[in-house]
Amino acid sequence: MLIEVEHWSGAGNRFVIVDKRQISINSQWNILVNSLCKRKNLPDAEGLLVLLEKNKNNSTCKYDFYNPDGSTGIMCGNGARCAVRHANLTDNVHLNDIELILNGCSYRAKLFDN
């Protein structure tokens, strides 16, 4: 199976982002995360962010975060930075007031132009 991934960097930490809306994988992420975080000729990624959904008013985005060993955590600050920017670029999520739901926990975020 081929999975399209994007490689992102947030404050020096590297992450892989997958848009689950584009593929039909349900609960296998904890098994796939290690192979997705390993990269040829590049440093390995610190985690996997899976975009689950965004709401209709473009102000909420929902991701799951996985560590390379398949475990999950409630919050990853640099991963959250990447998730908010990713949501902005891929889905035009509003800049001034964003709700980021990361592994089921809600956070408020703002994206600045600089």
Distance (Å, rounded) from C-alpha 75 to C-alpha 84?
13
Residue 114 domain flag:
no
| Domain count across the chain | 1
Residue 56 domain flag:
yes
Question: Tell me, what CATH number does 105's domain have?
Answer: 3.10.310.10
The pLDDT tens digits of the residues spanning 10-34 come to 998 999 999 888 777 766 787 788 8
Residue 19 domain flag:
yes
Residue 1 domain flag:
no
| pLDDT value, residue 110 | 85
| pLDDT value, residue 27 | 64
Produce one character per residue of 45-79: b if its CB has 16 or more CB atoms within 10 Å, e if not: bbbbbbbeebeeeeebbbbbbbbbeeebeeebebb
Which domain range does residue 82 map to?
A: 6-109
Stretches where the chain sits below pLDDT 50 are none
| pLDDT value, residue 78 | 93
| pLDDT value, residue 113 | 72
